[in-house]
Homo-oligomer: A and B are copies of this chain.
Amino acid sequence: MKGYRLLVACLDQPGIIAAISHVLARNGCNITSFDQYSEGPAGLFFMRAEFDMVHHSGDFDHEKLISEFDRLALEYHMQWRLTERDRAHHLAVLVSREDHCLNELLWQTERGDIHAEISVIISNHEDLRELAEHFRIPFYYIPVTPAQKAQSEEKLHQLVRDYAIDTLVLARYMQILSEDFVSQYPAQIINIHHSFLPAFVGPKPYHQAYERGVKLIGATAHYVTAELDAGPIIEQDVHRVDHRHQLDDFKRIGRQVERIVLARAVKWHVADRVLVYGNRTVVFPI
């Protein structure tokens, strides 16, 4: 029994759920999960459905379903995407020296809590090569210098192509990707920023948080856009601190928040549970 995920975004209009579910029903699809969100009376409509092919399976039905959806999409001006539930989602994880976020992703993908495969690990330092090798994942060292930035990014593009990467995860990758690079992967690059954005944009957020004397520190997973730390937020969380916590404690506690927040964001992203519109996200979490 084959499973699929259908994502739809369009302007809200009467009868749209009926139209979509009717196409699914008459093609032998049994909806197992259905999430929908409409914003305002004349607003946007977002939908995510999981369904199984119950009666038959095979390519024929698949093509018929797709062609019917194409017609529906024209009629309702829908953006839509159909993905096979069991298709492996390929991640490239970019890191610098810190291992906690990478560790969490390795651990959760390996045990299946995140349904994705880390196809390649890329770093501007050699520090985490051994960790990658222990998990038998190809590791590429791509140093980044101001002079050679374009060249480094060209190597990144090449790896994305070579490994058929779906999503790049910046797991404490302490480099800023160029606007040109970023623009080629819309909603395909996830970053973990070590603050509760939009507080403490930019470098050294824990220093900033410590200086300000905050009582909670946080982390933010977001899609990367041209503007630094300003892309659509996928997930955020915080942890309590107090006056006894020094900068090192902020970093230590923060590491726990970072890896959990990033892992959640990646888990939802690879399961097609995140839809982007403007600078916001609709997240149907589990």
Q: A280 interface residue, CB < 8 Å from B?
A: yes
Name 11 interchain pairs, CB-CB below 8 A, sorted by A: A12-B30, A14-B28, A15-B25, A32-B38, A34-B36, A34-B38, A37-B244, A238-B238, A243-B281, A243-B283, A249-B286
Q: How far, in Å, is A200 (CB) from chain B's closest CB?
A: 8
**A59-67, A83-91, A191-199 - the one binding chain B:** A191-199
* A 22-34 to B, binary, CB cutoff 8 A, 1 in contact else 0: 1011101111111
For A231, give the chain B residue with the smallest CB separation.
B213
Q: A109 interface residue, CB < 8 Å from B?
A: no
Q: A96 interface residue, CB < 8 Å from B?
A: no
Q: A203 interface residue, CB < 8 Å from B?
A: no
A216 touches which of B14, B19, B37, B237 (Cβ 8 Å): B237
Q: How far, in Å, is A40 (CB) from chain B's closest CB?
A: 8
Bound complex: CA of A237 vs CA of B238, how far in Å?
9
Q: How far, in Å, is A178 (CB) from chain B's closest CB?
A: 24
* A 227-265 to B, binary, CB cutoff 8 A, 1 in contact else 0: 000001111111000111100010010001000100000
Q: What B residues does A34 contact at CB under 8 A? A: 17, 34, 36, 38
Q: What B residues does A282 contact at CB under 8 A? A: 243
Copies in the complex: 4
A213 touches which of B39, B242, B279 (Cβ 8 Å): B279
Additional 4 contacts, C-beta under 8 A, given A17-B21, A243-B283: A17-B25, A32-B41, A199-B199, A238-B238
- Judge whether A14 and B41 touch: CB under 8 Å: no
A260 touches which of B249, B256, B280 (Cβ 8 Å): B256
Q: How far, in Å, is A282 (CB) from chain B's closest CB?
A: 4
Bound complex: CA of A103 vs CA of B252, how far in Å?
17
A18 touches which of B25, B243, B279 (Cβ 8 Å): B25
- Judge whether A113 and B37 touch: CB under 8 Å: no
A198-B212, A199-B196, A212-B198 as given contacts; A14 in contact with B37, CB under 8 Å: no
Q: What B residues does A12 contact at CB under 8 A? A: 30
Bound complex: CA of A213 vs CA of B26, how far in Å?
35
Q: What B residues does A38 contact at CB under 8 A? A: 31-34
- Judge whether A214 and B243 touch: CB under 8 Å: no
Q: A134 interface residue, CB < 8 Å from B?
A: yes
- Judge whether A214 and B197 touch: CB under 8 Å: yes
Q: A54 interface residue, CB < 8 Å from B?
A: yes
- Judge whether A54 and B14 touch: CB under 8 Å: yes
Q: A71 interface residue, CB < 8 Å from B?
A: no
Bound complex: CA of A39 vs CA of B244, how far in Å?
8
Q: A81 interface residue, CB < 8 Å from B?
A: no
A33-B38, A256-B260, A286-B245 as given contacts; A213 in contact with B17, CB under 8 Å: no
